[in-house]
Amino acid sequence: MSKVIAIMNEKGGCAKTTTATALAYLLAKQGKKTALIDYDGQANASLLMGVRNPLTLQVTVSNLLNCIIQEEQLPEPKTYIIKTDCGVDLIPANRKLASLERDLVSVNFREYILKQYVDTIRDNYDYVLIDCMPQMGTPMVNVLMCADSLIIPTQTEILSLQAVQELVKHYVKVKSKPFPFGNPKIEVEGILVTMDTQRTIVSAQMKDMIDGTFGGKLPIFDTCIPRSSKVAEAAMYGKTICEYMPRNKAALAYQNFAKELMKHE
Ligand SMILES: Nc1ncnc2c1ncn2[C@@H]1O[C@H](COP(=O)(O)OP(=O)(O)OP(=O)(O)O)[C@@H](O)[C@H]1O
Ligand SMILES: [Mg+2]
């Protein structure tokens, strides 16, 4: 049974890509067949998986979704899936994905385009992770219709938390409607505190606020990912922190988070 997990929060820069790539790396290392869909025109997940120039790629996620939109035959997965050194199968993105919202405007069943694509590959994997773009809209509704579950990274900052509240509203709406109008099976794996500046008053206050707002309603991961300058350094080398410096405090926290997640199975 494969599981499609989206790493989602419309707030920019809250460590969606850092989390998605670290998790993909750790799952693959555990021997899980893992695909990572880069669903963001910034192509940050592709870069962190070692792709140097995404613009030169022949087939990216936007081509695949356009095949579905145009009702054309999809290319064979082996012709476009990038087998990364760390064992993750990457479905890369590039800037062309920025036009997806516009491309979807006049399409019938436009909320199901990503699901139609993911259904063609999901049976080949234990996990399909989706690294989401930082905005809501039809492309994100596509993710909510397609995912089995969500991981919601948030910084311990009020603006990030407000974005979580907005996302949860969309999640509740999609979950409350029967298929095909919604996705009643979707779950939240958990809210994940990222880039935590431990032992500060603001961080403690914000964690209390997260507990107060969502505790008992949605799961919250026990693990918090601490801030470390090495995370950005790893990115410079096109690697996740877990590969670049496995004993780093953020890498160790990501390992604990991955263990917590795998206990959900
Ligand atoms: N634990 C951490 N410690 C320090 N820096 C971090 C940590 N996690 C992420 N970062 C840095 O924060 C920035 C944003 O992270 P990331 O790109 O993962 O966020 P994002 O939510 O995917 O952003 P976007 O919304 O633009 O897609 C990056 O420069 C990344 O290197
Ligand atoms: Mg990102």
Question: Encoding tokens for residue 90?
Answer: 């990457």
Question: What is the rounded average pLDDT of the residues 52-59?
Answer: 93
Q: Name the region of 38 (left: φ>0; alpha: ψ -120 to 50; beta: rest).
A: beta
Half-sphere exposure of 133 (CA within 13 A, CB side): 23
Check whether 19 has a pLDDT greater than 90: yes
Residue 108: pLDDT band with limits 50, 70, 90:
confident
Which residue in this structure is represented by tokens 């948030």? 154
Check whether 199 has a pLDDT greater than 90: no
* For the chain, percent of residues with pLDDT exceeding 70: 100
Q: What is the pLDDT of residue 158?
A: 87
Q: What is the pLDDT of residue 189?
A: 97
Q: How confident is the model over 229-248, as pLDDT tens digits?
A: 999 999 999 999 999 999 99
Check whether 8 has a pLDDT greater than 90: yes
Give the long-range contacts of residues 206-213, CB within 8 A, separation 24 or more: 206/156, 206/157, 206/158, 206/161, 207/156, 209/158, 209/161, 210/154, 210/156, 210/161, 210/164, 213/161, 213/165
Question: Encoding tokens for residue 40?
Answer: 């963001």
Most confident range (mean pLDDT) of 214-218, 223-227, 261-265 is 223-227
Which residue lies with its CA nearest to atom 15 of ligand 1? 15
Check whether 82 has a pLDDT greater than 90: yes
Question: What is the rounded average pLDDT of the residues 114-121?
Answer: 97
Residue 60: pLDDT band with limits 50, 70, 90:
very high
Strand partners for 3: 127
Ion ligand 2 — residues with CB < 5 Å: 16-17, 44
Q: What is the pLDDT of residue 207?
A: 87
Q: What is the pLDDT of residue 180?
A: 82
- If one residue of 136, 193, 231 were mutated to test the ligand 1 pocket, choosing by the most ligand atoms within 8 A of its CB, it would be 231
Q: Relative to the CA of 11, which ligand 1 atom is closest?
A: 25
Question: What is the rounded average pLDDT of the residues 149-177?
Answer: 93
String of DSSP letters for 92-128 = ---GGGGGHHHHHTT-TTGGGHHHHHHHHHGGG-SEE
Residues 6+ apart with CB under 8 A from 221: 190, 191, 192, 193, 257, 260, 261
What is the whole-number distance in angstroms between the Cα of residue 5 and the centre of ligand 1? 19
Chain-centre distance for alpha carbon 192: 12
Question: What is the rounded average pLDDT of the residues 166-185?
Answer: 93
Q: Model pTM?
A: 0.97
Check whether 216 has a pLDDT greater than 90: no
Q: Count Cβ atoms below 10 Å from residue 94 Cβ, excluding itself.
A: 22
Q: What is the pLDDT of residue 215?
A: 84
Residues 6+ apart with CB under 8 A from 262: 27, 30
Q: What is the pLDDT of residue 253?
A: 98
- Judge contact between 27 and 243, C-beta under 8 A: no
- Between CA 131 and CA 9 the distance in angstroms is 10
Kindly tell me the sign of the dihedral angle through the C-alpha atoms of 169, 44, 5, 29: negative
Which residue lies with its CA nearest to atom 7 of ligand 1? 195
CA proximity to 147, closest of 169, 119, 105, 126: 119
R_g of the chain computed on alpha carbons? 17
What is the whole-number distance in angstroms between the Cα of residue 42 and the centre of ligand 2? 7
Question: What is the rounded average pLDDT of the residues 22-49?
Answer: 97
Q: What is the pLDDT of residue 205?
A: 87
Which residue lies with its CA nearest to atom 31 of ligand 1? 232
**Residues with C-beta less than 6 Å from any ligand 1 atom:** 12-18, 40, 42, 44, 134, 194-195, 225, 227-228, 231-232, 235, 250
Q: Relative to the CA of 44, which ligand 1 atom is closest?
A: 17
Report in angstroms the alpha-carbon separations of 247 from 163, 233, 243.
31, 14, 10
Q: What is the pLDDT of residue 202?
A: 84
Which listed ligand is nearest to 15 at the C-alpha?
Answer: 1
